[in-house]
Chains A and B, each alone.
Chain A
Amino acid sequence: MRRTSPFARVRPFALSRRTAPQLVLTVCLGVLAWVAATAFAALACAMVTGVNLGPFEAAGEYLPVSLLSTGALAVTAGAAYHGKKDAYVSETLSRLRTAVLVAVCAPKSPWDEERGDSMLVAEVSNSIAAQRVFFEAIPIALASACCALLMVCVSPVAALLSLLTLVLVLPVVAAVSGRLTLGLATKALSTERGIEAQAHDSILRSRDLVQYESGVPRNSRLVSDMGIYARTRSKVLGIRSACIACGMAALALCWALIVVFLGQGALPGGHAGVCVLASATAVLFSLAYRPHVIVEHAQARVAAEVIDVVLTQAPAQEQPVAADVSVFGGAEVHAVASSDVQGEVLHDASLVIEPGSVVSVQCDDDRERAVLCGLFLGHYEADKGFVALSGVRIEAMSEESLRHTVVPVTRKTPLFTGTIRQNLRIGRPSASDADLVDACREAGLASFVSEGDVLGLEVDDPELSPRLTAEVRQRIGLARAILSDAPFIVMNDPTGDLGPLEEARFLRSVERLAPARTVLIVTRTDLAERIARASYKMESGSLRAASIDQAVPDMDGTRGSGVIF
């Protein structure tokens, strides 16, 4: 997905426009801190060496008091500057995160093909975090530039030389440390993540490790990985620290030369001027020289390219819009050939779904299921043939209309950390609690919602929550679809993670959706045939009708009374 753009590093900066007031305040505090620190250092130097303060001789009477007040001001302004800088960076990063999510969620985003890759998701998240360095560099650079401008009042030549020094030294340190550590840093980061995942895995799989007495070999692998990590990481940090030290040495040399050559005659005030010059230059250098910002620059640059790709993805153009589908009149797939990223999946597939019916498709292959269901949801396009909803071709429908007509239920209902209420409201954000309870009952979660305030139940980690069984999870997906009021529900292997009895119970709930809703249910088992008006089988990319208009068995009153195992 990576391609380099010359604007890669500039684009995220545009996000900081709205945080400009904070930026201005930060820069002002930085300049104030510089002025106070310079005054403190110059006064201290003058006091200790006993030099003539020239025009400020009067201050000599109150030197300790002036020193204390300038020192207090420097410390306070410095702390405030750092605090504001942090706040500004945080705010800008939040905006960047939002911008990335908006780009990813944009209709028909090219991201769709890759978004499921969790490595990629992690890469983007880390790249955003790495931008902290860039955003931190903005107030630092601006404050340093302002201080350099103010230094013109002290000595124009010194200001020019200081600026020149910074411009020469900082990029060199950044470039050298980046070149030497970029690959190693990436390796160290991935090893560190691997170690964390391994330790986590070892605890989760403790019983197996104990059962097979394989804890020791696994631990030795952890030890060797940790060794690799320690070696790589120490190299990265070592090189970076060495680069920082070299940068410091270069700045110190330049500072000494500036002081030596300009100190004597460049300033009014004689000896006091030397103190002011030395202090102003030293404080400016220490303000501008933020080692971590400089040495992590290379990583941030690579990260910026990743973000740039996401932010600049052009969503596909919307097609001219036909009339919205107000009354659902069934769906049709006609002689469709369709492909995913790996190649052609469906060829000559045809399917008719009458409104108000349940249609089942038995299909063993993950890709075929994904493409067939994706055709109705607009995730895949037909290379040949057409897909129509209510007689309107999908590509001619507006995004809005399509979303109000079709909703999906997937094999593993995505759950978000938050309350059950929030999770259900994905179906309809405006739904009241009563609506949610009704939908839950309809989805077979009656006893679930009768167990006190389950809607407010927090789902901390959906993957690990023992209170959310696979069946409850799938039924939450069903309740979501019911809430959405969309007439057509497309289910991609909704029972894939359920046991036989749970599957049977789930199918019973699906069956009750008709005739109010139209359902296409694509499963691996053939059990869904029994609740479907028409059923199909997927055979190497094309659909074969298994049965049509099959009488749905009447189940009322036939419930057994034995022990349910």
Chain B
Amino acid sequence: MFDRRVWEVVRGCERDSLSYALLCFATFSLDAVCAVLLALVITSVLEGAPSWPAVAALPLALLLRAPLSYARSARRVSAQAAAALEANGRLCEKYARLCWASEADDYGPDFLWCAGEGARRLGELFGEVLPRMIGALALALPVTVATLFVCWQVSVTFFVTAVAVLASLVTGAASERNRVMNERIDDMHAVSASAADYFAIVMRESETLRDYHVESDFVELAAARGTKAEHVRLQRAERGLMLITFTLAVGTCGAVVVGHICSQLSRAGELSPLFALALALVCAYATARIAMLAISIPHMAEAEVAQGCMVELLALREPAEHGSAVAEPGDHLALSHVSYSHDGEDEALFDVSLDVPAVGLTAVVGPAGSGKTTLAQVLSGHVTDYEGTVFLGGKQFRDFPRTARLRYVTHVDGASGLVAASVRENLQMADLSATEAEMWSVLETVGLDSEIRRRGGLDYDLSAADVELSQSERLRLVFARALLHNSPVLVIDALMDDVNPVDGERAMMALRAIARYKAVVYLTRHPSQARFAKLEYVLSGGRIIASGTHEALLASCEEYRLAFEEQDRALSLTAMPSDQTVVLAKGGDAHAAN
């Protein structure tokens, strides 16, 4: 039922889990002692001579539970946190290795789910459910052995009852497992999360809803979703209750039989009433403990789903990485007759050759779907199974280890963004040892220094709820980080294509400032944004159809000139591309296809 590979992952919680199991066993044993004391109090009262030591000992024994409970909680939380952290860390690591492969897009939501909810469930399983199970089952063993010395009938009955309860638990677990496996992954959590999100969004957007006079409709919709989520939760709780009822019923039958045997033995004088009652109570308690494990059954089934998902994700094939070439600063990056196809049929790039000068802005201009993104990934070394050659300092670029490629070329695209942390932490991503002066210097280069100072300096927290950075500010911060990375080449893919002109212009100024120090390759679909480049390549249908400066291309390349004029007219609203061209995007920048 449990995969060894997952156990290997969460091995960090082993010690805490075992301690928790031991503490559970200790607590349950203490409870058994309390049951004996209870029997003592009752029988002594029945005999008309209350046992004062027992009366005093009972609460004292229960008081002893306090330190045990405290220690138990600490172990439980540590075990859960360690298991969740290990699972989460392993998934993040795996995703980082896959993030440039197509699997990253296909499995992205699964990774997100598994690293959050899935890791939590595994933590619950290894940190709480299993140790508690071990503790409860471990109690059954001494009870069986101890009762064997007193009365073998009781021992056998208790053992049979415990096995029967366990059998019903296993049956319940199997049926719950089948149900969970057949359901859509995480159906219940999806429903409740969607209801919670909907509630939050209606609350946040209440003003707009009121502006449209539809607030009551949406309150109803939110209420309906909330009710549905509660309904799903209740259904699950009901199933859990039914299982507990069943296991408790089985346990009760066993307890009654044990009680009956004890009473017979008591009447026959083989057992004193105290022994008989103590025996019955201890057996009943141990049976109830096992029966109550039914509470954990739904957790186990859910953890199994998480485990299956995690094993599948961790088994995804990673791109092969090898190579030992060493890059030197100043090495020249160039593409020579590179062709590449995603599916082996349609070629995304065909016979592309281009040079990246050591300093300055090089632009690649092309319409949507012309192969810009693929070219950027080839240039950055994320795609390595191309035909042709990519040279870095005369050596094959793919022969460099991945880290060397990442350090030589910084790739920034539409998916690049800021992490939810302070400005300082975002900048330190690029260079952990960067000094304050260096950080301010890059911020100054992208023209953000005064803005960041105004907002409170480098410790300005971007994850705070009230942060309203404009697109230009975000882009410029991304640029500042890329600049701080200090790699010789910066590849920027379509970053400003969908930015409004005011923000785009500011970011472009920043980029031009960066291009004074290093090689910048800028890929765009707007000829006007590429006009500052030293050299422009025009990419169409995966081929380079022309190259030169902006002016030279305007004069020599008809396609480029028409596109530039068309855009110019469109932007001045004197001629418009048909607005009928807006289509649902299928990914990338394909939505702008005309």
Contact = CB atoms under 8 A, between A and B. Distances in A.
Contact of A68 (B199, B252, B525): B252
B562 interface: yes
Nearest to A474: B582
Interface stretch (B84-92, B181-189, B324-332, B510-518): B84-92
Interface in B93-140: 93, 95-97, 99-100, 104, 108, 111-112, 115-116, 119
Interface in B547-594: 559, 561-563, 565-567, 569-587, 591-592, 594
A530 B498 contact: no
A503 B96 contact: no
19 contacts: A48-B262, A49-B46, A49-B273, A71-B252, A93-B226, A121-B204, A210-B100, A211-B410, A212-B410, A215-B92, A230-B77, A246-B63, A366-B468, A379-B207, A468-B584, A499-B498, A499-B500, A505-B577, A525-B501
Given A104-B206, A249-B60, A252-B34, 4 more contacts: A197-B463, A209-B429, A253-B59, A257-B55
Nearest to B278: A48
Interface string A447-474: 1100100100000110000111111100
Cβ-closest 9 pairs across A and B = A562-B562, A241-B69, A237-B73, A105-B215, A238-B70, A253-B59, A245-B65, A234-B74, A234-B77
Interface in A39-74: 40, 44-45, 47-51, 63-64, 67-68, 71-72, 74
A422 B68 CA distance: 54
Interface string B288-328: 00000000000000000000000000000000000000000
Interface stretch (B342-350, B390-398, B413-421): B413-421
A21 interface: no
A553 B211 contact: no
Contacts of B222: 97-98, 101
Given A83-B241, A94-B223, A207-B415, A555 B573 contact: yes
B389 interface: no
A496 interface: yes
Contacts of A230: 77-78, 81-82
B352 to A, nearest CB: 18
A118 B567 CA distance: 39
Contacts of B217: 429
Interface stretch (A9-17, A320-328, A383-391, A402-410): A402-410
B219 A101 contact: yes
A200 B573 contact: no
B429 A444 contact: no
B577 A50 contact: no
B46 A271 contact: yes
Given A75-B249, A222-B85, A426 B209 contact: yes
A219 B89 contact: yes
Given A86-B234, A427-B212, A525-B502, A196 B116 contact: yes
Contacts of B241: 79, 82-83
A556 to B, nearest CB: 10
A215 B579 contact: no
Contacts of B45: 259-260, 263-264, 274, 278
Contacts of A249: 59-60, 62-63, 65-66
Nearest to A243: B66
A48 B277 contact: yes
A258 B429 CA distance: 67
Nearest to A416: B201
A206 B569 contact: no
B357 interface: no
B15 interface: no
Contacts of B245: 75-76, 79
Interface in B345-387: 365-367
A274 B46 contact: yes
Contacts of B18: none
A94 B570 CA distance: 52
Interface string A195-208: 01111111111111
A130 B190 CA distance: 20
B576 A559 contact: yes
A495 B579 CA distance: 14
Contacts of B255: 44, 71
A470 B584 CA distance: 11
A64 B260 contact: yes
Interface string A505-545: 11111000000000000001101001100000000000000
Given A233-B77, A244-B69, A408-B211, A45 B277 contact: yes
Interface of A, secondary structure class, is helix
A102 B217 CA distance: 11
Interface stretch (A108-116, A160-168, A343-351): A108-116
A445 interface: yes
B280 to A, nearest CB: 5
Contacts of A435: none
Contacts of B419: 201-202, 205, 208-209, 218
Given A47-B260, A212-B429, A500-B571, A448 B583 contact: yes
Nearest to A244: B69
Contacts of A211: 406, 410-411, 416, 485
Contact of A245 (B66, B194, B574): B66
B4 interface: no
Contacts of A97: 199, 222-223, 226
A558 B574 CA distance: 8
Nearest to A239: B70
B500 A498 contact: yes
A250 B498 CA distance: 68
Contacts of A366: 468
B263 A48 contact: yes
Interface string B217-235: 1110111001100110110
Interface in B414-434: 415-420, 428-430, 432
Given A205-B419, A555-B574, A212 B481 contact: yes
Given A448-B582, A525-B502, A199 B116 contact: yes
A531 B571 CA distance: 12
Contact of B266 (A48, A377, A469, A501): A48
A419 to B, nearest CB: 11
A102 B571 CA distance: 45
A461 B432 CA distance: 34
B91 to A, nearest CB: 8
A432 interface: no
B76 interface: yes
A6 interface: no
A118 B471 CA distance: 20
B207 A112 contact: yes
Interface string B464-491: 0110100100000000010001000000
B432 to A, nearest CB: 6
A466 B100 CA distance: 18
B417 A208 contact: yes
Nearest to A76: B245
A214 B430 contact: yes
Contacts of B267: 50
Given A83-B241, A117-B465, A560-B565, A418 B69 contact: no
Contacts of B210: 105, 107, 403
B429 A454 contact: no
